[in-house]
Amino acid sequence: MANPKPSDTGEELSPEQQKFAEIKQQQAADSEYRGDRGQYMKSGRQQKEEEKAVKKAERPPAKPVTRREFLNYAWGAALGVVLVEAGVATFFFALPRFKEGEFGGIFPLGTGSTLPPVDAAPVRNLDGQFWLSNDTDGVRALYRVCTHLGCLYEWKDQTVRFECPCHGSKFVKAGQYIEGPAPRSLDQFKIQKLVNGQVVEETTTGGQALTVDPNAEYVVDTGVVIRGQSV
């Protein structure tokens, strides 16, 4: 059994008093003690907290954005917006914009047997804005707008030709220019001839008529305009 240690007053301490004094001394050593340099040292937890605070205080402040950096950011954002808008426009441009039977879209004409006869007057299609004209060369879809100033010309049975009421331009049944201030023959829409659902013939850039087959299907694409020949 350990001998009791004497107290500061010279009295011997009991084992319980001695243990209590050792605990107090240990607590005092853990909480704060003086180092060799005369500075008060904290416990491990306190030291870590103080080190974090010092590092945070020593962290350099954020640099302000320069004018060049701002302009670079602005140009980058503007370029991103332009690219997004271009992508959206391309997406919607690729989608069908017109329904069947709506101007700018497809107009089914039926089979060749339902087309106007060769010796009949052209048939006007108001929804598609074209005259369906059939002659010995074949069938054409003539745009209803005069090539002079955009007036709506008419078919005249008396003279067997197209005439513009505004300025007197005249065209034959096939759309070729006769006389007047119009700078070219009538414009046409593309016609396609289909057999078993497959395109076997269509109007080319020259505006030639399509031959008529009683069993073939014909459609007019009012989204494709073929300019008339200049005079």
List pLDDT tens digits, range 72-127: 777 778 777 777 776 656 655 555 566 776 688 999 999 999 999 999 999 999 99
Number of structural domains the chain divides into:
2
Tell me whether residue 7 is in a domain: yes
Residue 145 pLDDT class (50, 70, 90 cuts): very high
Q: How far is CA 153 from the centre of its chain?
A: 39
| pLDDT over 70, % of the chain | 71
Q: What is the average pLDDT score of the chain?
A: 81
CA distances from 83 to 71, 88, 117 (A): 18, 9, 53
Query: Is 111 in the same domain as 193?
Result: yes
Average pLDDT over residues 144-151: 95
Query: Is 135 in the same domain as 26?
Result: no
Answer for the pair 178, 165: CB distance below 8 angstroms, yes or no.
no
- Give residue 60's pLDDT: 64
Query: Is 211 in the same domain as 111?
Result: yes
Query: Is 110 in the same domain as 216?
Result: yes
Query: Is 122 in the same domain as 221?
Result: yes
Answer for the pair 171, 179: CB distance below 8 angstroms, yes or no.
no
Tell me whether residue 101 is in a domain: no
The C-alpha atoms of residue 158 and residue 129 are separated, in whole angstroms, by: 23
Query: Is 48 in the same domain as 110?
Result: no
| pLDDT over 90, % of the chain | 52
Query: Is 139 in the same domain as 208?
Result: yes
Query: Is 121 in the same domain as 219?
Result: yes
Query: Is 217 in the same domain as 118?
Result: yes
Tell me whether residue 203 is in a domain: yes
Range of the domain at 4: 1-31+42-55
Query: Is 111 in the same domain as 189?
Result: yes
Answer for the pair 12, 4: CB distance below 8 angstroms, yes or no.
yes
Q: What digits encode the pLDDT tens for the residues 35-79? A: 444 445 555 667 777 777 766 666 666 667 687 777 777 777 877
